[in-house]
Structure 1
Amino acid sequence: MYTHRERVEADMHINNLLFVSIYTRHHHHLPFSFLSLSPSSLMAHSSVHKDRGELRIHENLVELGTDLAEYIAELSEASVKERGVFAIAISGGSLIGLMGKLCEAPYHKTVDWAKWYIFWVDERVVGKTHADSNYKLAKDGLLSKVPVVPSHVNSINDSVSAEEAADDYEFHIRQLVKTRTINVSDNSDCPKFDLILLGMGPDGHVASLFPNHPMLDEKSEWVTFITDSPKPPPERITFTLPVINSASNVAVVVTGDSKAEAVRLAIDDVGPDHLSLPARLVQPTKGKLVWFLDKPAASKLDGSQFSE
């Protein structure tokens, strides 16, 4: 049984052989650049920060999207093999577009989509067809293009207030923890999602957890609500930090030079003044943290704090 990465590398090897056959038929030699090309050379520069998890820094968005798809597919495969389901919580924004490779070969057919249970790390309290809806964004960009089971798509109740929507979503998640569709954390009663995918704003916010907001201190609730979001729309629900940090795997996906300073403050050793930045508070208790960055987003990082 091959892993997704092995299948991708096999496909690349076949394509390389076809290239060699066609190119040498006309040119009788190979370009030097091709001689040094390997599947691993097309992947990200990967390093480990001394305190902040694994960093995967990519040349461009295409490379990042390919690596992200492979990462998600491998976690899905491992989770389904281990416990029969894959519980994934996603965010909105540009993240959904970067997940688009999952709609393509080989992932469209090789991922066991029927075993996916999809949740939202945060959601705007608007109708499901509203332009601001994270559900709509994910449905249009991903979920309508892959064979997920509709009943496994766990969206919020958008017909009630933000407070009621948060309570309802937490109750729903608690029921799925009881059936072990979602695992439970080893060191708390929090749900233990197989993967939580986060984006990050230029201000360092993740999910709908904003800088200097009281909800950063929430310890007992799994899902909370906000009615004064500094970004419109104002009413949202969001996972709390204890839930995010209880996940088996957390990936933070950030692109663009407008977020480079926030990336630096979230990852580098910058002293105590920025320890309350929401993205810096993402620190899985026992899980694994991975940062997917393009070069502009990573441009201000201190490389001396990394190891290969």
Structure 2
Amino acid sequence: MGGPPNLYSFQDVDKDLAPNLRKYVLEQQNEALARHGVFRVAVSGGSLPKTLAKALLAPSNGSKDDTPEFSKWEVFYADERCVPLDHEDSNHNLVKQDLLDRIPQELGQPKVYPIDEQYLDDPKECADQYEKTLVSIFAARDSVKLPLFDLLLLGCGPDGHTCSLFPDHPLLREQDAWVLSISDSPKPPPKRITLSLPVVLHAAKIGFVATGGGKKDILKKIFETEQGGNLPSGLVNRGAGEKVSWFCDASATEGVNFPRRGSVM
């Protein structure tokens, strides 16, 4: 597995965290474009899209390394709620409002893969259809066991859930499917789809964004305890190790006994 995950802690979200998150995302973009000419990223909802927008829509310093090439991005959803795409609970709606609709024309537009609205009443079919979309893109030329995302951008709930993978849920044991359905989410809305844990762990890089004092207890648990290591976010830490980077503010990391970094190198 290599080394431990990277925990970044910043004093201020706007002044410090967002610019470092920008550097991190664009590093992954540039490496992906050098590898295969496209940047495949999956995102979650919550407060993440707003922070991502602060990071990516800030003025560029003019260098090629600091320019988002959105026309070469393919955006997927790490999880999604089975609601219409313009619904306030839709992750796609959040990402569209906070980021996609605000991208300047000259930077181009990503190709975006939302869920198919005709399957909203059947989460299992919705998940199967989204998996077929992934298969058509990631396994079009050859048979692959798992899709390889260049970057996953995730959040962490106060219970340690990430994507729509919740603590002690049977979905955590799923080994084969790429996309899973859940009809009994402990957090509303109950019907959702989510990437499976093996797909999350297989990503080239995984970035968590967790800010605010409401996150400090769960971060302390995840980074310091055996019990926290078995929560979904802790399982990502344990399974992906140094591929994982946490972008947090000082409020979220207060009292967390784990080596932290102050900037992306």
Shorter-chain-normalised TM-score: which range?
0.7 to 0.9
2: distance between equivalents of 1:77 and 1:52? 24
Aligned counterpart, 1:230: 186
2:129 alignment partner AA: D
Aligned counterpart, 1:68: 21
Structure 1 pair 262–51 and aligned structure 2 pair: CA distance change class (3 A) = farther
Structure 1 pair 107–99 and aligned structure 2 pair: CA distance change class (3 A) = farther
Structure 1 pair 306–52 and aligned structure 2 pair: CA distance change class (3 A) = same
Q: CA deviation at 1:82?
A: 2.1
Segments of structure 2 that go 5 or more residues without pairing to the other structure are none
1:157 and 2:116 aligned: yes
- Where do 1:1-308 residues align within 5 Å? 52-62=4-14, 63-100=16-53, 101-106=55-60, 110-146=67-103, 147-149=107-109, 152-160=111-119, 161-179=122-140, 189-268=145-224, 270-271=225-226, 273-283=227-237, 284-285=239-240, 288-303=243-258
Q: Any idea what SS the aligned residue of 2:180 has?
A: strand
Rg: which structure is higher?
1
Q: Larger RCO: Structure 1 or Structure 2 (Cα < 8 Å, ≥ 6 residues apart)? A: 2
Q: Any idea what SS the aligned residue of 1:231 has?
A: coil
Q: CA deviation at 1:285?
A: 4.5
Paired positions, count? 250
Q: CA deviation at 1:277?
A: 0.6
If the length of structure 2 is used for normalisation, what is the TM-score? Answer: 0.87
Q: CA deviation at 1:143?
A: 0.9
2: distance between equivalents of 1:148 and 1:171? 26
Q: CA deviation at 1:53?
A: 1.0
Cα offsets for 1:40-96 (capped at 9, x unmatched): xxxxxxxxxx96411111001111112111211121112112210000000001111
If the length of structure 1 is used for normalisation, what is the TM-score? Answer: 0.76
Percent identical among aligned pairs is 36
Segments of structure 1 that go 5 or more residues without pairing to the other structure are 1-49
2: distance between equivalents of 1:165 and 1:148? 29
Structure 1 pair 80–211 and aligned structure 2 pair: CA distance change class (3 A) = same
Structure 1 pair 90–307 and aligned structure 2 pair: CA distance change class (3 A) = closer
Q: CA deviation at 1:179?
A: 3.6
CA RMSD of superposed structures (Å)? 2.4
Q: Any idea what SS the aligned residue of 1:297 has?
A: helix
Mean Cα deviation higher: 63-72 or 232-241: 63-72
1: distance between equivalents of 2:167 and 2:236? 13
Q: CA deviation at 1:123?
A: 0.3
Q: Any idea what SS the aligned residue of 2:218 has?
A: helix
Q: CA deviation at 1:107?
A: 7.8
